[in-house]
Each structure stands twice: as C-alpha cells, then as structure tokens.
C-alpha cells in the first residue's frame, strides 16, 4: 500500500507542476465569474443562472482536465522512460497503475475543490451560499470526472494520447446522451429493430454520464432545482461510477500486464 | 555502502548458484504496421504473392537464442557492439519487455516476480528520472518503492549520496544534473535496497575518468560484499579491469563466454620494438619486410607480426647506431577479441 501511495504522491506532485492544469483552472474560474454578468442580464432569478452556469463550468473544465490527465500522465511516464526506473522496483504493474490513478484522482479532487470554492464565493456574494443540494451536485460531478478519467486512461492504453483524447470527448458526449439513446431505442421511432438494439447496446456499454448531469432544468432526471435529488440517488450514481471505473482499470491492466515497455 | 549491521551476513546462498540463467532467450521486435498481405488475404480469401513480398512485417531479431548463466558473487561483463542486443537482454531480465521465446530466470524464478525484484537493483541505460525531484527526495522515493524501512532510509540515503559523490548536489533538482551526475544518482537508486544482484546498463558511459574509476571501485566493492554484478559496456579497458567473466554478444547471438584469460589467447600476436635516433637504413629494412613502422617524434615503433624473431631488426638497429627503447611482446587484448568477433560475418 505504501508503494501505491508513494506513486500517487509523486504523480500528484508532477501534475501540480503542470502549467496546462493552471491554464484550464483559470478558464474555469473566469467562466464562473462570467456567470455573474450573465446573471445580471437574465430575466430569471440570477442565482439560478449562476448556479447552473457555475456547475456547468466546473463540470466542463473538470471533464477536460480529467481527459487531459488520463491521456497524458501515464503516457508521459512511458515516453520519458521513467518506467524503466519504476517498473523494475519490487512492485506489480497493477500497483503502478493504481498509484498513477490514485494520484490523478487526488489532482481532480484538488481542482474541483478550487473551482467550487470560487463558485461558493460568488454565490455568497449574492447571499445564496453553499447548500446540501449543491454539495450533492459537486459529488456527482467529481464522480463523473473520475469515470471519464478511467475511460481516458483505458483509451490511452489502446492508442496515442491525441486520438485517445478525442475518443474520450466523443464518449463523453455520447454518454451524456445515453438517456436520449435509450428513449429512442424503446420508442421504436427509428423503425428499424437493428438500430434499436444497437442503441440499446450502446446504452449499456457506454458510460451513462447522464446519471451525473445535474445542472440546469433541461435535464429530465435530476436537477439541482428539483426535489427528487436525494442522497440515495447520489449513492446509486457513485456506485455505478465505481463499477465502471473498476471495469476500465481492469481492462487497462489487461493491456498493461504483458506490454513491452520499450 | 551496504548496511552490514541491518542485514547481518544475509547470505545463506553462499554456494555458487546461478543467479541469472537465460535459456534460449529470443526477442524479435516487429517494426512497421499490420502486415497488409495477411489482411488482403483474409478479405479476398486468396493468396496474392505479389503482396506477400512487399508487406511482410519487418522484424528485428534483437536477441537470438541467448543462453548463459551468471553465478553468485560474480562480476559479469556483457560486451558487444552498438545494437547487438545488450540492452534488450537486460530489459528482459528486468521484466520491462517479454521474450519472444525462451526464458530468463533470476534466483531460480522466472521474471517478472516481485519477490525477486526485491533482490535486484537496476540502472537503466541513459537514465532519466523524475526531474522535478531533488536528489534526496528521489532516493527517498526509490527507497519507499523498495519497501526500505524509514529508519534505514534515513541513515542510508546520505551515505549513498556520499558514496556516489553527490553530497553537494543533495538539494538540487535532477533537472539540473549533468549526464554524469544522473548516472551517479542512478547508481545510488539501484543500490538503495541493498540488492543481492546489481544490473547495470552501461554504468560507465557519460563519466569522466575519475568518475569511471569511482564506479569501477564501487563495483569491486560490491563484489567484496558478495554481491553479483552484471553490466554492459563498450569500454573494454574497464571491463578488463573488473570482470570475472565476460560474454560477447554480436547481432543478438552470444559469440563467446568465459573468463577473460581463457578467451584471450596467450599467443603473442605482435612484437613491438621502439627505437630512438633511428637511421634510415632500419626504416628501409622494416619497409622491405612489410612490417608496420611508425615515426612519432624521434621514436620509431616497429610492429613485427606473430612470433617473428626480433633479433634481426635489433641487430641491424644496434649496428647502425640506433638506441633500443623497448621490445614488448603483445598478446591478444580484449579489444582484438572484440573486433575479431564483431567483424565475423
Ligand atoms: N523497441 C524496439 N523496436 C524495434 N527494434 C528495436 C527496439 N529496441 C531495440 N531494437 C533493435 O534491437 C537491436 C538491439 O538493440 P539494443 O538496444 O539491445 O542494443 P545494445 O547492444 O544495447 O546497443 P548499444 O550498445 O548501442 O546500447 C537493435 O538493432 C535495435 O535497433
Ligand atoms: Mg544498450
């Protein structure tokens, strides 16, 4: 365990030195602050808009950061040949992967924390402050980031970082439309049963990111403005996320286990 | 630098067991993309010979049928020209890449094996490490990964840093290290867990003459502690100085293996005669006989091939008033052997 933590700690240290992360964080903060101006222009209650936009910003940039980490961090280790140092040490390749993943998770937690702090400060300026429902939303967002991270990590074990990055983004978009896919499949509107089964299959195989989508009234199933947004639901979504992450890490491990590190 | 106190005579395997055993080890790298011929064949369900030739996957046989053993307590040198497969062999030893055929065992276990890795220290070729870590932090990380106790760590890290001459660079990030310094910190991390087997891929490259001497001394010191060392190198004089046995690898094949004095024929290959104040007549004689003669300053070096009797030229030289500086019979050097093996088709 100490070895995994050592690797995780070192990974966190490396990502914390990465300038790209700070640039992304800056953009996220700008977007959250920008929601204030939008709030002023809005006809609706500005707080609702700030909440929606702020959560969307955290979710969007969290997603970008997660994909970026997933496709670059382990790849860099291979590219810069630091694996020659780490793999011959008395540890399993699984431990290496888990350590890297844990380190990236820690990075994401820090990033989300920073973004949320800015978000809460803005809300407080409007006298709205933090609330349990927002906390639930952030937990869901974090869970979603971790799932994307594991997906990006797996894809980067199959192909180069750039392609893996684009594929991850594509999967994210598809995953967010999972609800739509399922409805389309069951409604029979496609009029083509093969298409229906394909959509249904995609619904089960692709990560169901719709589960985690919280911001805005546009989403039918959950919304921070709705009242059916319970801890039970959050737990269910996190459980689903944990399962998906486990599968992704398992598949990545299968790829890494006998891979020639040249 | 080993902690003799913390590990009191931890060598129950004093008998000369095989620490490394490679049997029929092969590694073929496939370079280039998926063989298009195969794909075409699968689609068209027919053999198209004109495609076959063009697109067979290009393969590099980096290591072919390598079998050798290194016994406990030995210093084994792996020699070979560039691209002969030394690094590939070592990477297979360390579980970084997997053999195409054959197997490699360390301490009787097929690699990769975590219990075995605990007893092995490894210095990669041209090492790169996490360049944002300071020297001491880096060794701390290495020690943690090796499961070295905190107490031992604290004592051992400064000692190792001192042993490899980096005490002054303790606080510097590895990013600011020179090539030789990286090589030194690489050695330190390889030894951090007091391993029984030390695997060094070109430990002497990038070091100045002093540094090379340091590392040679370090390797000899490891032997006196009963450790087994295998290292690859091109620097033959160093190999000659410290190795018990060497293996010569050329194009992935083991050409020769054994004790140095057994490999090098004791036969005199050349006799070198050095003269001063040599008159032209001696030079003429050398030229006539077809011996190589090289004038450098006021010294003339004449090389007599094989076991030619030097008497003749010496007599002539003395008669004509030259001064004899030295007469040295030369036996085959490791360099000769190396060149001979490398040139063989
Ligand atoms: N990842 C790889 N893909 C394809 N070919 C490779 C790969 N790694 C090594 N080779 C080839 O295998 C052969 C042996 O390479 P290797 O690095 O083992 O040589 P070496 O003996 O260590 O050489 P040097 O003394 O220059 O370090 C070379 O022909 C090299 O081109
Ligand atoms: Mg090499």
Compute CA distances A7 → B39, B224, B303, B324, whole Å. Answer: 42, 34, 60, 67
Q: What is the model's pLDDT at position B55?
A: 56
Rounded to the nearest angstrom, the minimum Cα separation between B97 and chain A is 4
- Please tell me the least confidently modeled range out of B11-25, B30-44, B113-127, B328-342: B30-44
In whole angstroms, how large is the CA radius of gyration of chain A? 20
Q: What is the model's pLDDT at position A20?
A: 92
pLDDT higher than threshold 70 for residue B277: yes
Q: What is the pLDDT of residues B89-121, one digit of tens each?
A: 999 999 999 999 999 999 999 988 999 999 999
Query: Which chain A residue has the Cα nearest residue B98?
Result: A260
Q: Which of A19, A85, A160, A259 to mutate: most B Cβ within 10 Å?
A: A85
pLDDT higher than threshold 90 for residue B138: yes
Q: What is the pLDDT of residues B154-213, one digit of tens each?
A: 999 999 999 999 999 888 999 999 988 999 999 999 999 999 999 999 999 888 888 889
Q: Which helix (H) or strand (E) holds B275?
A: strand B268-276
Q: What is the model's pLDDT at position B290?
A: 86
Residues of A in contact with B189 (CB under 8 A): 85
Confidence at B31, pLDDT banded by 50, 70, 90: confident
Q: What is the model's pLDDT at position A4?
A: 95
Measured distance between the N- and C-terminal CA atoms of chain B, rounded to whole angstroms: 44
Residue A44 and residue A102 in contact, taking contact as beta carbons nearer than 8 Å: no
pLDDT higher than threshold 60 for residue B52: no
d(CA B147, CA B143) in angstroms, rounded, equals 6
Q: What is the dihedral of CA B221, B223, B226, B229, to 10 degrees?
A: 120
Q: What is the model's pLDDT at position B2?
A: 43
Rounded to the nearest angstrom, the minimum Cα separation between A262 and chain B is 7
Q: What is the model's pLDDT at position A3?
A: 92
- Residue stretches of chain A with pLDDT short of 70: 42-44, 129, 188, 190, 215-228
- Please tell me the least confidently modeled range out of A224-228, B10-14, B175-179, B236-240: B10-14
Query: Which chain B residue has the Cα nearest residue A81?
Result: B128
Query: Which chain A residue has the Cα nearest residue B27?
Result: A260
Residue ranges of domains in chain A: 2-159+230-258
Quickly tell me which residue has 């019979």 as its tokens.
B329
Q: What is the model's pLDDT at position B5?
A: 43
Q: Among partner residues B95, B98, B132, which is closest to A88 by beta-carbon distance?
A: B95
Q: What is the model's pLDDT at position B39?
A: 56
Tell me, what DSSP letter sits at residue A226?
A: S
pLDDT higher than threshold 60 for residue B235: yes
Mutation choice for ligand 1 from B83, B206, B231, B255, CB with most ligand atoms inside 8 A: B83
Please report, rounded to a whole number, the percentage of residues in chain B having pLDDT higher than 70.
86
Q: What is the model's pLDDT at position B9?
A: 47
pLDDT higher than threshold 50 for residue B4: no
Residue B233 and residue B202 in contact, taking contact as beta carbons nearer than 8 Å: yes
In chain B, alpha helices (H): 36-44, 49-55, 86-93, 114-117, 135-145, 150-163, 179-191, 209-224, 236-242, 260-263, 280-289, 311-319, 334-343
Does A173 lie at the interface with B, CB-CB under 8 angstroms? no
Residue A116 and residue A107 in contact, taking contact as beta carbons nearer than 8 Å: no
Whole-model pTM: value is 0.84
Mean pLDDT of B219-246: 90
Rounded to the nearest angstrom, the minimum Cα separation between A6 and chain B is 7
Measured distance between the N- and C-terminal CA atoms of chain A, rounded to whole angstroms: 27
At residue B76's C-alpha, the angle toward residues B229 and B69, to 5°, is 100
CA count, 13 A, side-chain hemisphere, B340 = 12
Does B129 lie at the interface with A, CB-CB under 8 angstroms? yes
Does B132 lie at the interface with A, CB-CB under 8 angstroms? yes
Closest-CA residue to B27 (of B97, B95, B94): B97
Write the DSSP string, B158-194.
Answer: HHHHHHTT-GGGTTSBGGG--HHHHHHHHHHHHHTT-
Q: What is the model's pLDDT at position B42?
A: 56
Average pLDDT score over chain B: 85
Q: What is the model's pLDDT at position A202?
A: 77
Q: What is the model's pLDDT at position A128?
A: 74
Does A204 lie at the interface with B, CB-CB under 8 angstroms? no
Q: What is the model's pLDDT at position A113?
A: 94
Compute CA distances B91 → A260, B39, B294, whole Å. Answer: 9, 32, 45
Q: What is the model's pLDDT at position A219?
A: 41
Among residues 7-26 of chain A, which lie with CB inside 8 Å of chain B? 7, 10, 13-14, 17
pLDDT higher than threshold 70 for residue B16: no
Confidence at B13, pLDDT banded by 50, 70, 90: very low
Q: What is the model's pLDDT at position A210?
A: 79
Q: Where are the beta strands (DSSP E) in A166-253?
A: none
pLDDT higher than threshold 90 for residue B261: no
At residue B309's C-alpha, the angle toward residues B303 and B312, to 5°, is 90
| CA-closest residue to ligand 1 atom 29 | B83
Q: What is the model's pLDDT at position B6?
A: 46
Mean pLDDT of B307-321: 86
């Amino acid at each position: 365990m100490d070895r995994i933590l050592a690797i995780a700690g070192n990974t966190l240290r490396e990502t914390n030195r990465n300038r790209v992360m700070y640039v992304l964080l800056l953009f996220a903060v700008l977007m959250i602050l920008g929601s204030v101006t939008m709030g002023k222009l809005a006809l609706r209650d500005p707080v609702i808009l700030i909440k929606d936009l702020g959560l969307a910003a955290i979710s969007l940039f969290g997603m970008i950061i997660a994909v970026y980490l997933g496709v670059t961090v382990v790849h860099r280790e291979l590219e810069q040949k630091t694996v020659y140092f780490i793999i011959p040490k008395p540890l399993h390749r699984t431990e290496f992967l888990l350590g890297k993943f844990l380190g990236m998770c820690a990075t994401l937690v820090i990033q989300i924390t920073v973004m949320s702090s800015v978000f809460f400060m803005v809300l407080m300026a409007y006298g709205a402050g933090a609330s349990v429902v927002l906390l639930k939303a952030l937990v869901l967002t974090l869970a979603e980031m971790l799932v994307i991270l594991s997906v990006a990590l797996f894809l980067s074990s199959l192909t180069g970082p750039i392609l893996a990055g684009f594929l991850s983004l594509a999967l994210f978009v598809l995953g967010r439309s999972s609800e739509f896919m399922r409805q389309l499949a069951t409604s029979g509107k496609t009029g083509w049963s093969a298409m229906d089964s394909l959509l249904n299959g995609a619904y089960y195989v692709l990560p169901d990111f719709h589960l985690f989508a919280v911001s805005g009234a546009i989403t039918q199933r959950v919304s921070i403005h709705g009242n059916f947004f319970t801890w039970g639901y959050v737990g269910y979504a996190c459980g689903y996320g944990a399962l998906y992450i486990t599968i992704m890490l398992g598949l990545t491990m299968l790829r890494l286990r006998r891979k020639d590190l040249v | 630098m080993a902690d003799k106190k913390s590990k009191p005579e931890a060598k129950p395997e004093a008998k000369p067991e095989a620490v490394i055993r490679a049997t029929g080890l092969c590694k073929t790298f496939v370079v280039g993309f998926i063989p298009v011929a195969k794909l075409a064949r699968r689609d068209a369900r027919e053999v198209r010979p004109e495609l076959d030739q063009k697109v067979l996957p290009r393969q590099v046989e980096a290591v072919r049928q390598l079998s050798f053993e290194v016994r406990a307590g030995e210093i084994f040198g792996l020699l070979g020209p560039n691209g002969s497969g030394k690094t590939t062999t070592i990477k297979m030893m360390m579980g970084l890449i997997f053999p195409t055929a054959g197997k490699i065992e360390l301490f009787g276990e097929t690699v990769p094996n975590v219990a075995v890795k605990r007893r092995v220290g490894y210095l990669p070729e041209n090492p790169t490490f996490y360049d944002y870590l300071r020297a001491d932090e880096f060794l701390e990380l290495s020690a943690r990964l090796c499961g070295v106790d905190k107490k031992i760590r604290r004592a051992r890290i400064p000692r190792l840093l001192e042993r490899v001459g980096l005490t002054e660079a303790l606080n510097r990030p590895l990013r600011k290290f020179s090539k030789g310094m990286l090589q030194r910190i690489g050695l330190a991390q390889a030894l951090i867990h007091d391993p029984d087997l030390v695997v060094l891929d070109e430990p002497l490259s990038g070091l100045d003459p002093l540094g090379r001497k340091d590392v040679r001394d370090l390797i000899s010191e490891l032997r006196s502690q009963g450790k087994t060392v295998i290292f690859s190198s091109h620097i033959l004089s160093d190999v000659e100085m410290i190795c018990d046995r060497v293996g010569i690898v050329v194009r992935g094949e083991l050409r020769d293996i054994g004790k140095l004095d057994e490999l090098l024929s004791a036969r005199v290959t050349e006799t070198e005669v050095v003269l001063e104040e040599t008159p032209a007549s001696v030079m003429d004689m050398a030229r006539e006989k077809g011996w190589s003669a090289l004038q450098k300053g006021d010294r003339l070096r004449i090389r007599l091939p094989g076991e030619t009797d030097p008497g003749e030229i010496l007599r002539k030289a003395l008669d004509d008033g030259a001064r004899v500086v030295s007469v040295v019979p030369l036996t085959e050097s490791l360099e000769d052997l190396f060149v001979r093996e490398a040139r063989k088709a």
